[in-house]
Amino acid sequence: MTASVSYFTHGQIGNIVIDSPPVNALSQHVRQGIVDALQTAAGDDTQIVVLRCEGRTFIAGADITEFGKPPQAPALAAVLEALESHPKPIIAAIHGTALGGGLELTLCCDYRVATTSAKVGLPEVNLGLLPGAGGTQRLPRLAGLAQAIDMITTGRPITARDALTARVVDEVCAGDLGEGATKFAEALIDQGEGKRLTRDIPLRMSDEDTALLSQTRDTIAKRLKGQTAPQRILDCLEAAGTLTFEEGLAAERRAFEACMEDPQSAALRHLFFAERAAGKIDGMAAGTKAQPVKHAGIIGAGTMGGGIAMCFAQSGFRVTLVDQDEDGLDRGLSIIKKNYEISIKRGRLSAEQVEGFLRNLEPTTDWQQLQDVDLVIEAVFENLELKQNVFQKLDEICAADTILASNTSYQSIDALAAATNRPDRVVGMHFFSPANVMRLLEVVRGEASSDITLATAMAVGKKIGKVCALSGMCYGFIGNRMLRHYGREAALCVMEGASPAQVDQAMERWGMAMGPMAVGDLAGLDIGYRAREQLSDEEKGPRVNYLLADRLVEAGRLGQKSGAGYYRYNPDTRAREEDPAVAEIITATRAELGITPRSVSEEEIVDRLTLALANEGARILEEGIAQRASDIDVVYCFGYGFPRFRGGPMHVAEARGLQSVVDTINRFHDTLAAENWVVAPLLARLATQGGSLADIGL
């Protein structure tokens, strides 16, 4: 046994208990402990073995921190072999989540019992992997191919009840798991039930299974375009239905190793840890606790305010939604209700759930209703004076310890804090549109924001299901500051010779959820136009960066909302179509600026747009605006549709090699607009020293 695995007997039952916080992952010492315990159990006079975990969950899978390092015996395969070949029947008793290698381990036990609240799943696909410990071969034998396809390609866990229906578990215990497992074991002994290996269950692929596999291949090719793990998963599942168990297992092993070597998995594993690191604030005083928040106030029932209110209401918070007049409130509420109706129609929510959410929502025009809120988020029009007035008013109405947050995208949190008598309790909480859908929340630290305020904003963000990343104060914070450079390069690629569709296709083929031109049309080209109107020529920068956008707006092409922007939009299907009228505007704009178009390759488009992000990201990191390079990746992957399987702009740079990044930026400096391509000093330094972005900020 090892410190993390113990064994004791109770009557006829041998008990193996794993206790390896935080999530009982299958680290080397856990694997060794299980093998040792099984050996002991084989030699004593018990009749049956129960394997369970202490702590908050059953085994959450292989230990991801061991991936990419030299393997240490015993391998997981040896543990599974020891379970299957054990002379006594083994029952896995599951609470919390049995995930990945954790569930696979239970499939090598003879029986499985679970608590009502337990969940089981094979989420490896989210790490660019596939279940590599027999999951693709054993799960379909128990649950059928259709269920296995769904669970393994989506990575979504299922509840204990669904697992019972799918025959993945044999019993669900309503009460104490220990007692339930003991009763189950005693019943097996009484009935003389013995070993029962999943691998022995026959599996033959039906015509429906074959059709489902091929249909899933097509849908996945579209939905998860460019991703390799999901297709490899389907190969393994096909092998399960067509080959012998041993052959299938060998095919799974080869496919798992291919995934492990694939840069996509390295990127997704990077993001797994990045997401968890982003929620942590460096240098926070030990013992800092978030303030309790039960009642939130939202100012402004527009698109953003409404979306934010939905997030809180559906996470069980009491929400007071304030707007200046009844009309604004009614409009906002009807959008919220319409959104929920769509969710009901699509089967994502039940009518009862929605009723509950709406009950949490208290719309009002009376600011005095904010007297006892714990946190307020202001989401009014982007105007500093207006926002300062709101903060002043909130400061007067709300209790002294209420945290005042702004959803601003650009304004200075310090300027807002200055309008109050509690600058330490002022913070930015920057949501992304649509706020009820997008996972990212940038928590923006003002100069005076206290640790408690930041910890509270982070904790609340997590509670409403957001992935939080901390940003320091600068214009546009992390995400939008970088976006300007990305957008500029997209615009310049078009001015130099690419069509908007070429730019979008290049980025979408590379993996972006939506190309930059299509995003511009979705957001509305008039927004940038109006913002530019407030700027001096110098602030606007060279005309070539924005002249085309201006010309489109002047031609009434505001984007999707006016039916046309960089594209025209089919009024029935809303599908985007290339528009000869745009080509004419582009030609005229190039002529006005004296540009002779050239051919711009797909590779150049991708390099320019991604390296523009990474270069500005490096500046943001060096200035301490971002705590870590991986936080920047989190911002881009969760807030800007950056492909997760690429790991984020900083990971892309790191994976490419910082010297190659610096060389390419220098080449752009010499061949394109030089002022746009000055290597960030941090990148230059790290490239010369052979350093890593991952070490900055630690």
Among 89, 101, 230, 306, interactor with ligand 3H9 by CB under 6 A: 101
23 near ligand 3H9, judged by CB under 6 A: yes
Give how far Cα 216 sits from Cα of 145, 153, 158, 210, Å: 12, 9, 19, 10
* Nearest approach, Cβ of residue 42 and ligand 3H9 (Å): 24
Nearest to 549 by CA among 597, 598, 498, 492: 492
Q: Find the catalytic residue in 86, 95, 270, 430.
A: 430
CA dihedral sign of residues 471, 475, 479, 485:
negative
- Exactly one of 10, 12, 39, 65 binds ligand 3H9 (CB under 6 A); that residue is 65
Helix axes 547-554, 525-533, angle to 10 degrees: 110
Q: Of residues 258-317, which lie at the interface with ligand 3H9 (CB under 6 A)?
A: 273, 276
Verify whether residue 430 is a known catalytic residue: yes
Closest CA to 583 of 490, 507, 494: 494
Q: Which residues pair with 62 in a beta bridge?
A: 26
Q: What is the dihedral of CA 664, 670, 672, 678, to 10 degrees?
A: 70
> According to CB under 6 A, which residues from 127 to 146 bind ligand 3H9?
127, 129, 131-133, 135
Nearer to ligand 3H9, 134 or 428 (CB): 134
Q: Which stretch binds ligand 3H9 (CB under 6 A): 57-65, 323-331, 541-549, 662-670?
A: 57-65
CB 406: neighbour CB atoms within 10 A? Answer: 27
63 lines the binding site for ligand 3H9 (CB under 6 A): yes
Are 224 and 232 within 8 A, CB to CB?
Answer: no
Q: Which of 34, 41, 62, 686 binds ligand 3H9 (CB under 6 A)?
A: 62
Q: Which two tokens stand for residue 235?
A: 């190969």
Alpha-carbon separation of residue 460 from 291, 374, 470, 625 (angstroms): 9, 11, 13, 22
Pairing of strands 119-121, 171-173: unpaired
Taking the C-alpha atoms of residue 141 and residue 240, their distance in angstroms, rounded to an integer, is 8
Three-class SS state of 93: strand
We find the least distance from the C-beta atom of residue 280 to ligand 3H9, in angstroms, to be 7
Assess contact for 24 and 60: CB atoms under 8 A.
yes
Out of 14, 33, 41, 104, the residue judged to bind ligand 3H9 by CB under 6 A? 104
Nearer to ligand 3H9, 81 or 578 (CB): 81
456/279 Cα distance (integer angstroms): 11
**CB 383 within 8 Å of CB 412:** no
**100 near ligand 3H9, judged by CB under 6 A:** yes
CB of 19 to ligand 3H9, least distance (A): 15
Residue 297 sits at φ, ψ, to 5 deg, of -110, 140
Q: Which stretch binds ligand 3H9 (CB under 6 A): 53-61, 184-192, 560-568, 643-651?
A: 53-61
The answer to the question of residue 60 lying near ligand 3H9 (CB under 6 A) is: yes
Instruction: Decide if residue 459 touches ligand 3H9 (CB under 6 A).
Output: no
Which one of 5, 13, 18, 25 is in contact with ligand 3H9 (CB under 6 A)? 25
Q: Which is nearer to ligand 3H9, 20 or 408 (CB)?
A: 20
Select from 1, 42, 64, 673 the one that contacts ligand 3H9 (CB under 6 A): 64
The residue from 61, 363, 511, 649 that contacts ligand 3H9 (CB under 6 A) is 61
56 or 348: whose CB is closer to ligand 3H9?
56
Tokens of 645: 């399987």
Range 616-645, binding ligand 3H9 (CB under 6 A): none
Q: Which of 4, 15, 97, 136 binds ligand 3H9 (CB under 6 A)?
A: 97
Q: Which residues contact 451 (CB under 8 A, 6 or more apart)?
A: 281, 284, 285, 288
* Residue closer to ligand 3H9, measured from CB, 129 or 301: 129
Closest CB to ligand 3H9 among residues 89, 157? 157
Beta bridge pairs of residue 52:
17
Amino acid at 252: E
> Which stretch, 92-100, 239-247, 358-366, 382-390, contacts ligand 3H9 (CB under 6 A)?
92-100
User: Do the Cβ atoms of 26 and 68 come closer than 8 Å?
Assistant: no
> Encoding tokens for residue 77?
């395969």
Q: Residues binding ligand 3H9: what is the number (CB under 6 A)?
A: 26
Task: Kindly state whether residue 492 participates in binding ligand 3H9, applying the rule CB under 6 A.
Answer: no
Question: Of 46-54, 124-132, 366-374, 510-518, which part binds ligand 3H9 (CB under 6 A)?
Answer: 124-132
Binding site for ligand 3H9 (CB under 6 A): 22-23, 25, 57, 60-65, 76, 97, 99-101, 104, 123-124, 127, 129, 131-133, 135, 273, 276
The set of catalytic residues is 430
